[in-house]
A and B are shown apart, each in its own frame.
Chain A
Amino acid sequence: MAHMLKPALLGAALTLVAALALSAPAAAKDRFVVDLVNEPSTLDPQLQWNPDSYYVYRNIFDNLVTRDDKGEFAPQIATAWKVLSDTQVEFEIRDGVTFHDGSTLTPEDVAFSVSRIIDPKLASPQQGQFDKIVKAEATGPHSVVLTLAGPYPALLAQLVKLSIVPKHVVEAVGNDAFNLKPVGSGPYKFDSWQRGVAVTLTRNDAYWGTKGPFATAVFRAVPDAATRLADIQAGSADLAVSLDSDLAGQLEASGKGKRLYTLTERLAYLRLNPTKPPFDDLRLRQAVAYAVDKEGITEGILGGLDKPIGQMLTPAHFGWFEDIPGLPYDPDKAKALVAEVGGSPKVEIATGAFFDQRVVQAIQQELADVGFDASIKLVDTPTFLKLIQQGAQGGPALAVSRSSCACQDADGALYQLFHSGNPWTIVENKELDGWLDDARATLDPDKRLTDYRKISTFIAKEIPVVPLFQTVAIYGAAKPLQWTPTPNESLFLNRMSWSE
């Protein structure tokens, strides 16, 4: 048996080795290697939405607008924009931008890209981020007009994520083929996708903006975090995503690399269902807020890089206020409140497998310490998402979750979670609905801020949620890499540099 199989298997091995020998590493920093967790799900920027995909495709494609390293809006394909009316915005399109196939990027391509993502036929998971856009038209040799269903102040924040795809290529080859061989206008060109192994990009030397520092960039799939760390230490990777604070500490201590990190716009929070006992009693919601030691969690468990927050927003969002801190950690007050209500209220903390279970266990302990009869209900991620997607009435009494709108704007961060009628909504309140709708319907930033102040104050007082902490993104990097990670978890190669 073994004797018969071995030659066949060895043959397969040798073929494989021959095929792979071509991809041996080159010298110098011509070749930049990034360790992702998984390979991208897709390289069509208008389909799947997950970090391992957009880390890669945001280098292949330009967006209509972008955010600079400070988080401010900056021109990209659109050089300027003008509000024509409450429902129309005109974008001026950059001249002289070419796609990787040599063709010129035109306003038609921009209009096509918008129309494509809002077309229900594409069934893009990102559709909801752009569903306020009704129509996109090329109105001149350099202009595109977007027509909106109503005034929409978060438009630019959402357009940061809208990649421009070439109309003629997508129409000629179809969606499936475009996904396999994407053509964009970004600083890097698609070179090859060795399925399961790596995606290779090469520098676009004709790029209109800042050119990339590396001739080629390889994005590999390395699922195990300890292995990603070892890759940096051994010098076989230059940048690794998603390290935890322990691994990042090991990397610093070894002297064979460095950690880079940034606070993201992703936040962790507790959902308290005001329609279900025991949390229909405000005193018990307050008790939970007093009982949880956010600083203890970020410092003691998470390594000190995550940041405790008091709002359902982070400083990276438009609409965040310095002076709304939420209730402080005060276990004695919590105990007193629980005692006042009487008994030992039974609560079950629903949580998904994606959440750091050490944090959930700490919360369970803290709730038990102040008099709750707390237990944990851990389910797999899709089941959890389904659980918290039942609206205000159907949701669990208590759950711990994470959220990010990837838009750094209060509208994206709050609307789905606090406006009635949405699947994810935590609370149904007419007043809250009014402020959310009002803030969404005006383009005046001051008016919006007034609304968001009311909303955040309401949340701090009524406590349908207890915001926990703003999560950090930690990267492992080779020492010569110079790069500032951004809150929206992008990985723009042309904003990096290399100095030995």
Chain B
Amino acid sequence: MTAFLLRRLGQALLTIFGVATLIFFLQRLTGDPTYLLVPDTATQADIEALRHALGFDRPLWVQYLSFLGEIARFDLGRSVVQNVPVADIIASRLPYTLALAAGALLVACGIGIPVGVALALGRDRWTARILAGLVLAAQSMPTFWSGILMILVFAVTLGWLPPSSTGGIDHLVMPSVALGLLSMATFARVTRTALLEELSKDYVRTARARGAATGRLLLRHLARNASIPIITVAGLEISNLLAGAVIVETVFAWPGLGQLTVQSILARDFPIVQGVVLLGSFVTVALNLLTDLLYTVVDPRIRLGGAR
């Protein structure tokens, strides 16, 4: 177990180092932010002075080493555009992204898992067919479209919900649904498949032969056995939700990390993009590790790091 953890930790560090290097050089292929920071009529001297002040006049490898030095000290640098520590900016945006991811996950699991169960248990009924159609529709709608459609219906026409930005919990409803509906379909599908597989197993037939009710069966045995693939998907979906939030956050003017990333890429605010990408890779690596560990809790037969 310890050996396994150490190995995974090493891999994780290597992954993050690779991501850091990649994002550092990729961004620098996309142009010099100095040009975006000066007015239309800036003189050569203005541009040079600003470039020097921002440190972009140094050789690339010097900038790279200083960047690596900074991350080694857990320092993400300062925003080129706002001149505020990147860590402060990310910290101010993170709660919004987490709230949105939580809301979306709630929508995705809250609708997706029951729908998946209904699909599995009633797979031959017409209601299941309609449900399957709805799930497909929800998954097929691009969020930039479903988002603006929701705004037009629920905010502009009906006036039930605020159209954008933040405020109360009502501001969170539409972004959560827009984002959650995408993952909802995934949860429904995985739940259905997992349950169907379990339902076809011998122990279910035996239990049924002994007269066990479906509901009891579901809660006692099926739910637990079917939860392994669902947990795997949840782990993957959280990263997806964080990534998919880019569009939803822009449409709903939700001030999360996704919106920040898009704006920072457009403004070539390298330190912020680096910070967000590093955070994202860190979260993804950590979630993967956590998912692996959780398997052992749910299914004691799984032993990490054992002979495979």
Contacts and interface: CB of A to CB of B under 8 A. Distances in A.
Contacts of B291: 1
Interface in A206-224: 220-224
Contacts of B32: 382, 386
B178 interface: no
B262 A223 contact: yes
A10 interface: yes
Contact of B259 (A16, A129, A179, A223): A223
A389 B46 CA distance: 13
B45 A128 contact: yes
Contacts of A6: 102, 105-106
A227 interface: yes
Interface in B63-95: 81-84, 88-89, 92-93, 95
22 contacts: A1-B231, A9-B99, A10-B102, A17-B168, A17-B172, A24-B167, A41-B81, A42-B83, A123-B53, A129-B39, A176-B84, A179-B83, A195-B84, A227-B163, A227-B164, A234-B151, A382-B30, A382-B36, A383-B31, A386-B35, A403-B40, A416-B41
Interface in A1-55: 1-2, 4-6, 9-10, 12-13, 15-17, 20-21, 23-25, 35, 38, 41-42, 47-49
Contacts of B39: 49, 125-126, 128-129, 405-406
Of A126, A383, A385, the most chain B CB neighbours within 10 A belong to A385
Contacts of B92: 194-196
Nearest to B262: A223
Nearest to B78: A176
A222 B151 CA distance: 14
A381 interface: yes
A498 B102 CA distance: 40
A16 B95 contact: yes
Contact of A389 (B35, B109, B163, B253): B35
B13 interface: no
A315 interface: no
Nearest to B99: A13
A38 B95 CA distance: 19
Interface string B34-48: 011111111111110
Given A5-B105, A196-B93, A231-B164, 13 more contacts: A2-B105, A2-B230, A9-B101, A17-B168, A42-B82, A49-B37, A123-B50, A127-B45, A195-B88, A195-B92, A196-B89, A196-B260, A404-B40
B307 to A, nearest CB: 26
A20 B50 contact: no
Interface string A135-174: 0000000000000000000000000000000000000000
Nearest to B35: A385
Range of interface residues on A (Cβ < 8 Å): 35 or more
A250 to B, nearest CB: 10
Given A382-B36, A386-B32, A125 B250 contact: no
B302 interface: no
Contact of A383 (B30, B38, B44, B105): B30
8 smallest A-B Cβ distances: which pairs?
A382-B31, A9-B102, A196-B255, A123-B53, A385-B35, A195-B92, A13-B99, A222-B253
B35 to A, nearest CB: 4
B159 interface: yes
A457 interface: no
A480 to B, nearest CB: 18
Given A2-B109, A17-B168, A198-B165, A224 B251 contact: yes
A234 B49 contact: no
Contact of B163 (A236, A381, A415): A236
Contacts of A422: 43-44
Interface residues of B, number: 73
Contacts of B148: 224, 226-227, 230
A222 B165 contact: yes
A405 B88 CA distance: 34
A423 interface: yes
A380 interface: yes
B52 interface: yes
A102 interface: no
Nearest to A175: B83
A84 interface: no
Interface string A405-449: 110000011011000001110000000000000000000000000
A128 B43 contact: yes
Contacts of A195: 84, 88-89, 92-93, 255
Contact of B43 (A9, A120, A423): A423
B86 to A, nearest CB: 12
Nearest to A227: B164
A423 to B, nearest CB: 5
Contacts of B49: 120, 123, 127
A128 B109 contact: no
B294 interface: yes
A18 to B, nearest CB: 10
Nearest to B253: A222
A197 B46 CA distance: 31
Of B39, B83, B99, the most chain A CB neighbours within 10 A belong to B39
B180 interface: no
A131 interface: yes
Contacts of A234: 151, 155-156, 159, 162-163
A128 B231 CA distance: 58
B260 A13 contact: no
B271 interface: no
A16 B235 contact: no
B241 to A, nearest CB: 10
Given A21-B168, A230-B148, A224 B99 contact: no
A129 B35 CA distance: 16
